[in-house]
Amino acid sequence: MSGLGGLNKSPNGVGLGLVQLQLPVVETKDDLLKQTEKVCDMVRKAKRFAAPIDLVVFPEYMLHGLSMDMNEEIMCRMDGPEVEQLQTVCAENNIWGCFSIMEYNPDGNPYNTGLIINHTGKITLKYRKLHPWVPVEPWEPGDMGLPVCEGPNGSTLGLAICHDGMFPEVSRELAYKGADIILRTAGYTRPIRHSWRITNQANAFCNLAYTASVAMCGSDGTNDSMGEGMIVGFDGVPLVEGSDRPDDLITGEVRPDLVLEARRNWAVENNIYQLGHRGYVAVKGGITDAPYTYMQDLQSGSYHLPWENEIVHKDGQAYGYDAPRKK
């Protein structure tokens, strides 16, 4: 159930609006300012929409497009005018927003940064994409971990940017920290459609969480983004599926209270609990170890695949980037 796309909101519900934003071409500071105003206009549209939307979610690359241009002139700063405008429009319209910026980094390549801003204009979550989509993306890997924050109507929000959602560990980390709604923002193009859908469903089911995901949409003359906004229930079943229409607003209602009910009461397939309580029928409380070699190796800094020495692409030079400057 999604309340007929969010038209009928329950007392415990959170109304979501996913914006399949038209893929822009942004080359100058003036382009960036115009695109920021367009995003603000879409926030206002979401507030005027018939469905009672609490949180409006924009895709990755909403301000910058898919050019991968690292021109300092069009990078954003946390104290810059673009972020200030996003804070102001949320406060003026009494609505939460999830946004994407390419953040200036004085010590290296820019960060791919996600922000959640509450209905008073306060930034309640900031995170930098952990796993840039290498070797295509040039962004500095994130250094802020995976935070969660309080969301509207008692929810707890987590955010996974695009490729981060392909790693089951990312959504598991967000759920482990309490997220009952996991947002995923992307710039993906059509070849990723199937992977997008199955990972959005798996991330929901494996963690007993709602996932709400949206990509850029339409063409910039070179790239064709797919849109594909979707909301998936905590049992892994899609509740709302979008289209490939640019600037479409996909809406639906989710129920964080039902997530908590499932997390408390499910026995079979309560996987996020059972991961850390192996075999609790046979062993009181279950075994709470970490029997997974890759976890141990990541922790010790010795992660190494059996075929690692045969990997072809280990930097971005095949995609036109210089060799990495940092070690």
Q: Tokens in use for 16?
A: 């979501």
Q: 6: pLDDT confidence band, cut at 50, 70 and 90?
A: confident
Could you report the per-residue pLDDT of 267-301, keeping only the tens digit for each? 999 999 999 999 999 999 999 999 999 999 999 99
Distance CA 30, CA 67 (A): 16
What's the whole-model pTM score? Answer: 0.97
What is each CA distance from 76 to 70, 71, 111, 114, 236, in whole angstroms? 11, 11, 10, 12, 36
Average pLDDT over residues 226-236: 97
Tell me what pLDDT residue 307 has. Answer: 98
Could you report the per-residue pLDDT of 9-54, keeping only the tens digit for each? 899 999 999 999 999 999 999 999 999 999 999 999 999 998 899 9
Q: Which of 60, 82, 173, 253 is catalytic?
A: 60
Distance CA 99, CA 256 (A): 21
Name which of 272, 260, 186 is nearest 230 in CA terms.
Answer: 186
Distance CA 156, CA 179 (A): 5
Torsion of CA 26, 167, 267, 278, to 10 degrees: -160
Distance CA 9, CA 18 (A): 16
Tell me what pLDDT residue 3 has. Answer: 76
Does 103 participate in catalysis according to the annotation?
A: no
Find all residues with CB under 8 Å of 308, minimum gap 6, and list them. none
What is each CA distance from 164 to 127, 132, 160, 167, 316, in whole angstroms? 12, 8, 6, 6, 18
Could you report the per-residue pLDDT of 51-80, keeping only the tens digit for each? 899 999 999 999 999 999 999 999 999 999
Q: Which fold has domain 3-274?
A: Nitrilase/N-carbamoyl-D-aminoacid amidohydrolase (3.60.110)
Distance CA 321, CA 306 (A): 27
Residue 239 has pLDDT above 70, yes or no: yes
Does 60 participate in catalysis according to the annotation?
A: yes
Tell me what pLDDT residue 230 has. Answer: 98
Q: Which residue has the tokens 């193009």?
A: 189
Q: Which of 76, 149, 162, 217 is catalytic?
A: 162
Pairing mode of beta strands 96-103, 55-57: parallel
Q: Tokens in use for 318?
A: 């095949």
Mean pLDDT score across all residues of the chain: 96
Q: Which of 40, 90, 103, 129 is catalytic?
A: 129
Does 129 participate in catalysis according to the annotation?
A: yes
Query: Would you list the domain boundaries of the chain?
Result: 3-274
Q: Which residues pair with 17 in a beta bridge?
A: 56, 251
Q: 1: pLDDT confidence band, cut at 50, 70 and 90?
A: low
Half-sphere exposure of 170 (CA within 13 A, CB side): 26
